[in-house]
Each structure stands twice: as structure tokens, then as C-alpha cells.
Amino acid sequence: MISAKKIEEKIFKILMYISFSLLSIALVSIIAVVFVKGLGALSFKMLFSVPQGGYYLGGEGGILNAILGSIAIGSIATLLSFLYAFCIVFYINVYRFSKSQFSRSVRFFLDILWGIPSIVYGAFGFGIMLIFKIPASLLAGALTLSFVILPIMARTMDETLRMIPFEMKQAAYSLGATRFEISYKVIIKQAFPGLLTAILLAFGRGIGDAASILMTASYTDSLPTSLLRPVATLPLCVFFQLSTPFKEVQERGYAAAFVLTILMLLVSLLARLSFKSFSKYVVK
């Protein structure tokens, strides 16, 4: 009897280890493939030049347009969604009770927005652009993208604000501060590391997203110089270059995948570090 139990446990333990290994191998092999393919395709010229003539047939050029484009669209979208989320989160935590009906419904709808696939945001943005006859551009893409990353930004900031000690608010209010003064003179300082984490998480998600900007930001071979022109991005660079039959062109896709992955891992790790140097005044 006992030995049968033991054998059963052994079998299932082995299954667990196999599952865990499979998943780990798969996840690690993603990074491995990106590194092996990407490092081979990397060169100074690749990183620091823009596509030249005959690019898609194997002509000269690199992916600088996509690198700068991704950073531009990611930063603008992050800034927009930060400002948006900032108002929301301070309103539902400072101007209203965190647990009030209103605040909870806002959170609920943020969660709903979080669940909407980014391609749907893309279609939404594209639809709005069709109605108002706006052409695909950096600005349109950044706006659409800012909606995609709004929930992750707002919910992360919200968690931070809910951690502010109640006594700290009491102390500040009892000095006669208005809610606005408490928000921007006290709570911001206490929540600063958390706000930074939210910004980085949202930025990381933003530069990785392609489905929402495919239709709204389009693609271009030139550097991002105007808000009203299309912009190149790393994910779309990977997508477009990979679908060509020419080896030289595909190499650019490899390089773009590599740069994109490095960027996202960096941002993701940064977001999870505790910001010691920025949290000088934070009260523990």
C-alpha cells in the first residue's frame, strides 16, 4: 500500500519537473535564439544608420530609424498615459476614499481596459482616424499606444498610492493643506519610487507592442522628425524584415529583435529594482 503511494508521488513529481523544465527551456530558448541570431547580425552600421536605397532588396542600411522611433513613440505614449493616469489615480485616492463606490468602479473599468487586446485598440484608433481623416503618424500611434498602456500605468500607481500611510495623510491635512497640496507636495514624494516603477513598466509594455501601432503609426525608412509623420518601430521592423525572402534584409529583423529584447529586459529589471537613490526622503 505504502509503496504504491510512494510510486505515485514519484511519478507525479517527475511530471512536475518535466513541466517546469519544458517551460523554463522554452522561455530561456527565446532569449537564446534572440541573442544568437541577433549578435550575429549586429554591427556598428546596423545600429547607427538608416535604410538606404534598395534596402528591401538587400541594400545598405541599418535600423536606427526603428530604434529611435520606438523610443520616441514609447516615450510620448508613456508621458501621455502618465499624465492621464496621474489625474485618475490621485482623484480616486485623494479626492475620494480609496474604497468608495466611485473609486472601485474606476478600478474595475481600468481592469476591463487592461483586458482588451491591443489589436482592438489599434482598430479603435484606426477607426477614429478614418472618421476624422487623420493620416497614420507618430502622434496618432502614440495616442493609441497610450490607451493600451494606461491600465498598467494607472493600476500600478494606484497600488502605490494605497500604500501611503494613513497617518501621513492625517498629519498633512491637520496642517491645513488642501488635497491638491497634499498630492503634489507630500504624496508624490512618498510614492516616487512606485510612480517610477509604473512608468518603466508601462514604457516596457509600450515599446514592445506592435498590434496597436501597426495601423496607426505605420512605418517609415526615415528618422522620427515630426509628430505628424509615420514612424518606424522595432517590433514592426522585426515583423516586416522577417517576412522578406532576402537574407540580408532578415538580418535586420534579427538585430531589431535583439535590440528590442535588450531594451525590454533592461527596463523590466530597472522597474523591479528598489530606487534607493531616488527614495532619499521616503518615510519607511
Please report, as residue ranges, which positions from 239 to 278 form the binding site for another protein (by CB under 8 A).
239, 242-243, 253, 257, 260-261, 264-265, 268-269, 272
* Residue 128 engages another protein in binding (rule: CB under 8 A): yes
226 binds another protein (CB under 8 A): no
Question: In the complex with another protein, which residue's Cβ is closer, 55 or 258?
Answer: 258
CB of 76 to another protein, least distance (A): 18
- The answer to the question of residue 27 lying near another protein (CB under 8 A) is yes
- In the list 50, 73, 210, 231, the residue contacting another protein (rule: CB under 8 A) is 210
With contact defined as beta carbons under 8 Å apart, do 88 and 82 qualify? no
Residues 67-126 that bind another protein (CB under 8 A): 84, 87-88, 90-92, 95, 97, 99-100, 102, 105-106, 109-113, 115-124, 126
Nearer to another protein, 62 or 151 (CB): 151
Task: Tell me how many degrees the CA angle 59-61-62 measures, rounded to the nearest 5.
Answer: 135
**Minimum separation from the CB atom of position 113 to another protein (A):** 6
The residue among 132, 145, 137 whose CA lies nearest residue 211 is: 145
282-275-182 Cα angle (round to 5): 35
Asked if 270 and 263 count as a contact pair (C-beta separation under 8 A), the reply is no
Angle at 141 between CA 259 and CA 148, to 5 degrees: 85
Q: How far is the CB of 3 from another protein (least distance, A)?
A: 11
Nearest distance, CB of residue 236 and another protein, angstroms: 8
Question: How far apart are CB 190 and another protein at their closest, in Å?
Answer: 4
Give the total of residues touching another protein (CB under 8 A).
108
CA-CA distance, 246 to 244, in Å (whole number)?
Answer: 6
Site string for another protein, 170-209 (x = CB under 8 A): xxxxxxxxxxxx-x-xx--xx-------------xx-xxx
Residue 66: what are its φ and ψ, rounded to 5°? -75, -40
